[in-house]
Structure 1
Amino acid sequence: MARHKEFDKDNALDAAIGVFAQHGYEGSSTDALLSAMKISRQSMYDTFGDKRSLYLQALKRYNTASIQRIIADMQDSDQPLDALEGALLAFASRPTSEASKGCLGVSAICEFGRTDTEVSLLTDSASTVLGKAIHAVLVDSRKKGQLSVEIDPEAATQFLGATLSGMKVSARNGASPETLRAIAGLAIRSLR
């Protein structure tokens, strides 16, 4: 019996995330995925299943890590709006090489819309987790007198989610960190 070559599943999945983020689901060939993941076709099927199953695992992993990173960035200040601005600025300040790869979560929404139930469940779940975290910070900012009384925290949560998504698309399109930081600053100033 032939022995399968061992590989690091997490590293392989991260490589798949890079391919899917760059080319989308349809644009990512199995051969391109295997090459990036540095595994054989059989290892992919044995470990991840088919291309669709691999995509769903990659999307779930990407969304989880991305949301955790943004939420962690929101914890860096005891002033809630400053914390939100810090999270947006942290995203804006990511290396251009990272930003230009694109956001797998946003690309999943753009590619599939609401046509794929499993993809929608993953993107909705990520959106819900991030939305709850942003909303909690906005409610705290209201209690501390930072959020304008004219601003509805629910609407502001949706606005900041849309702003972040727009920043991700702009980064993919080559927007400079300075441009992204200006967008982040304007978004937060509009809430004060």
Structure 2
Amino acid sequence: MARPREFDRETALGQARLVFWAKGYAGTSTDDLVKAMGIGRQSLYNAFGDKWQLYVEALTDYQQRSTSSHVLRLQAPASALQGFRDMLEGLAVDDDAMRALGCMGVGSACEFGSTEPQLSELRAKGSAYLHSRLVKRIREGQAAGEIDPALSPGEAANYLLMSMTGIQLAARSGAKVAELRRLARFAVDRLQA
């Protein structure tokens, strides 16, 4: 008879996500993971497969959580411009340690580039979803007279995605909250009618 699992899988996954987020895939050892997750090596393998499978699951979980958070901030205000500000300024978290982590997805792209098809597909899926939500919001802003009607919604969405990446890299590089928020406001101001 198999022994029941003696740990909470979601909690363990969250701890693994933090380790990978901070150290990247190559910089994270199995010992780092079992220590952070509070489980034995065999429990890690039984519950998550190998280190790669755990990384992909942690990155997928991170991407779903962060994309949901971005979309929530984007959609919450009536004003499209304010939604863009909220989304970009939300990247500038007050907690110094969390802000210094930047974005796990951007870190993964920096570490692997396009060499891992599984990760490229994951990034493309998340990017396409967020892009579509940005395009919709840009069109709403144009219809309301807030956003320059001469802008291509697709290109403006690409610009916002690129701005997000830049802000997240700046955060990882040590930029302070005020500086990141200034960058966010500057980016959004370029869209105004």
TM-score (norm 1): 0.95
Q: Structure 1 stretch 118-127 or stretch 1-10: which is displaced more?
A: 1-10
Instruction: Give the match for residue 61 of structure 2.
Output: 61
Between the aligned partners of 1:86 and 1:124, the Cα distance in structure 2 is 23
Q: Is the 8 A contact 1:4 1:43 kept in 2?
A: no
Q: Deviations over 1:3-28 (max 9, x none)?
A: 46511111111111111111111111
2:41 counterpart of 1:45: no
- Aligned residue for 1:100, secondary structure, equals helix
Cα drift, residue 142 of structure 1: 0.9
Amino acid at match of 1:186: F
Instruction: Give the match for residue 80 of structure 1.
Output: 80
Q: Is the 8 A contact 1:100 1:172 kept in 2?
A: yes
Amino acid at match of 1:63: Q
Amino acid at match of 1:79: S
Amino acid at match of 2:154: E
Amino acid at match of 1:76: A
Cα drift, residue 48 of structure 1: 0.3
Instruction: Give the match for residue 24 of structure 1.
Output: 24
Q: Structure 1 stretch 29-38 or stretch 4-13: which is displaced more?
A: 4-13
- Aligned residue for 2:90, secondary structure, equals helix
- Aligned residue for 2:72, secondary structure, equals helix
TM-score (norm 2): 0.95
Paired residues, what number?
192
Instruction: Give the match for residue 12 of structure 2.
Output: 12
Q: Deviations over 1:116-165 (max 9, x none)?
A: 11111111111111111111111111111111123211111011001001
Between the aligned partners of 1:94 and 1:153, the Cα distance in structure 2 is 31
Any stretches of 5+ residues in structure 1 without a counterpart? none
Q: Is the 8 A contact 1:93 1:181 kept in 2?
A: no
Which stretches of structure 1, 4 residues or longer, exceed 3 Å deviation after superposition?
1-5
Q: Structure 1 stretch 69-78 or stretch 86-95: which is displaced more?
A: 86-95
